[in-house]
Amino acid sequence: MRQSQLFSKTRKEAPSDEVSKNAQLLIRGGFINKEMAGVYDYLPLGLRVLNKIVAVIRQEMNAVGGQELSLSSLQSKDIWKKSDRWDDDKVDIWFKTKFQNGAETGLGFTHEEPLTNLMKDHISSFRDLPVAVYQFQTKFRNEIRAKSGIMRGREFLMKDLYTFCKDKNEQDSYYEKLKKAYVKIFDKLGIGAQTFVTFASGGLFSKYSNEFQTVTDAGEDIIYINKAKKFAVNKEVLNEEVLKDLGLKREELVEMKAVEVGNIFNLGTRFSDALALTYKDEKGESKPVWMGSYGIGPGRVMGAIVELKADEKGIVWPKEVAPFFVHLIEINPKKNPTVKNEAEKLYQEFLSAGIEVLWDDREATTGEKFADSDLIGIPVRMIISEKTIAENIVEVKKRASVESEKISRDKVLIFCQKTNL
């Protein structure tokens, strides 16, 4: 894309009421806009990143047999009454509103209830199980605090997958499958090394759950990490019994701040009992369906990546989620028109080769271009100038490196295809 055509502009200062690093940088870079506290819009650059995260997650959800659907945000009070999660003293993050006839409705903060209810039309026999369905859907949560930028929104995109199984065994084995898929997802997203499977509370549903916690000072959680075992325990559940159960010793654990980027639950028959989702087994006997739920917030992951990788100059995107792979910068094209022509030529070569490129063809100073490039954080910067043309090279600087290097002009595409960042 030509940067002159991109409507979003960078800015020097984030809004004064924005306290989180991720939102500050993302707003300054033109990735997002702050609508209200905890409510953000995704501008073209931000949407590109978000969609890449979504694509990585979708691929792994399909790989475990997930079928994609999309449930409504407006929720029926009747259904949530059945599971006893409608009342505000049971769930304190509801946004509720009313239809014209005065009937109450709520904005989904999760979707166990409507999905369990829906599945009654589609699950009747053991032959229908197991089944896994998922969605990328907007959740609304009326959080009291919303100071972590896009890591804790009042409105945010969530991938939620739900499994429906015949019994505990089948559910446990699907749970392990999803756990592996989650590890793969965070690896692919470039935050695998900092992300720990974490033993956590099961909430209302079960004895425990597994969180995926990414270590960052911006996190709201405290976890205790065993690095050797690549495993952690959430502070909320850390006690002698848990340590014993897990075979961990307190002195092996390191306390760290972290952000929960995913959470997986064994739900048991909590919701199938409440909403009467049953199936007939091989003998024709009616049995409750066993369920699990598995969440990842793509926006929260995006925020965590910014927090983890940014430096004092701006964002540093991993290749997998970067809005573009190459930031092509032309130096002083007005002084020498050849520069513009060469940049255009290289730009077209990138497009033909399917390499995602943002070409800074704006009328701006070199200093402005470099500062914006650092802020936006595209993995590879390529510079075309009078000098590089004379030398028949392109100057290349990786965003995560300090040094730049010279690449022979005819090796540029090969460099892009081979570069692993």
Which residues sit at the interface with a second copy, rule CB under 8 A? 5-9, 11, 30, 33, 35-36, 39-44, 46-47, 50, 65, 67-76, 95-100, 105, 107, 114, 118-119, 121-123, 128, 131, 133, 138, 140, 142-144, 154-155
| Distance of closest approach, residue 297 Cβ to a second copy, in angstroms | 15
CB of 275 to a second copy, least distance (A): 14
Cα 305 to Cα 12, 26, 123, 218, 415, distances in angstroms: 21, 11, 39, 11, 25
Rounded least distance, CB 68 to a second copy, Å: 6
Q: How many residues does the chain have?
A: 421
For a second copy, the closer of residues 6 and 389 by Cβ is 6
Structure tokens given for 78: 């009747």
Q: Closer CB to a second copy, residue 4 or residue 239?
A: 4
Identity of the residue numbered 263 = N
Q: How far is the CB of 133 from a second copy (least distance, A)?
A: 6
Identify which of residues 138 and 206 has a Cβ nearer to a second copy in the complex.
138
> Considering the complex, what minimum distance in angstroms separates the CB of residue 57 from a second copy?
16
- Measured from the CB atom, the residue of 58 and 399 that comes closer to a second copy is 58
* Residue 381 near residue 373, CB atoms below 8 Å: yes
Tokens in use for 40?
């953000």
Residue nearer to a second copy on the CB measure, 7 or 418:
7
DSSP letters spanning 123-159: --BGGG-SEEEEEEEEEE---S---SGGGS-SEEEEE
Angle between helices 21-28 and 298-309 (to 10 degrees): 90
Smaller CB distance to a second copy: residue 100 or 420?
A: 100
Radius of gyration of the chain (CA): 25
Token pair for 206: 């079960």
Smallest distance from the beta carbon of 208 to a second copy, in angstroms?
28
Beta bridge partners of 222: 257
